[in-house]
Chains A and B, each alone.
Chain A
Amino acid sequence: GAVVSQHPSRVICKSGTSVKIECRSLDFQATTMFWYRQFPKQSLMLMATSNEGSKATYEQGVEKDKFLINHASLTLSTLTVTSAHPEDSSFYICSAREGSGGRGNEQFFGPGTRLTVL
């Protein structure tokens, strides 16, 4: 149980285009989802926290107009990188949390999406 998937696993796009990454909780309802980015050989940095049905909360320094997050259902959150540029190339990882019960304090991580912007 507690499986989180991400799609696509890899994406290569041209500078200036927008890319959408999906994060799904496959066997549980995720009241909260998190988006992280990870640069090569570095740690995960939290970008934003999203609760189902409400606006995402962005971390300081993360442009909300550039990284659009939608959490429209209890099993799906999307991250759209708008007008992507080479500096947005990174590994994007989502995680999901049930929000209550014994697993409520645990985040389950997706396998990540490697974004390369040419």
Chain B
Amino acid sequence: AQSVTQLGSHVSVSEGALVLLRCNYSSSVPPYLFWYVQYPNQGLQLLLKYTSAATLVKGINGFEAEFKKSETSFHLTKPSAHMSDAAEYFCAVSERGGNKLTFGTGTQLKVEL
């Protein structure tokens, strides 16, 4: 079974600082990997996805993530945090061509002045 682990349920950064949200996956074969953002009382918005093309994936709002097979990681980064980035972030995994998404437990990002 596939799974993802998000280290740190809460991350706090200063505005303008680097954002790093960690995600490690467990899968017997290279999977598809996703990062989603959720604002309060809203659904999920896709930030970016890895589906076996370039290992460095660029997404919306200045976010990017790098697929590292040797580390089974797919950490999300953004060079400079903005107040509007404060939200819940979910890492998710699915089998290649598969239906189901398995979500991590989420990381709440807080951005402080």
Contact = CB atoms under 8 A, between A and B. Distances in A.
A63 interface: no
Contact of A109 (B43, B94, B104): B43
A49 B32 contact: no
Interface string A12-28: 00000000000000000
Contact of A44 (B45, B49, B94, B103): B103
B100 A43 contact: no
Contacts of B27: none
A111 interface: yes
B42 A111 contact: yes
A97 B99 CA distance: 9
Q: Which bucket holds chain A's interface residue count? A: 20 to 34
| Interface of A (DSSP majority class) | strand
A32 interface: yes
User: Nearest 3 pairs between A and B by C-beta?
Assistant: A109-B43, A109-B44, A111-B43
Interface of B: 32, 36, 41-46, 49, 51, 90, 94, 97, 99-106
Given A97-B99, A112-B43, 5 more contacts: A32-B99, A43-B104, A93-B44, A105-B51, A111-B43
29 contacts: A32-B99, A41-B106, A42-B105, A43-B103, A43-B104, A43-B105, A44-B44, A44-B90, A44-B103, A45-B103, A46-B102, A49-B99, A49-B100, A91-B41, A93-B43, A93-B44, A95-B44, A95-B101, A97-B99, A105-B32, A106-B46, A106-B49, A109-B36, A109-B43, A109-B45, A111-B43, A112-B41, A112-B43, A114-B41
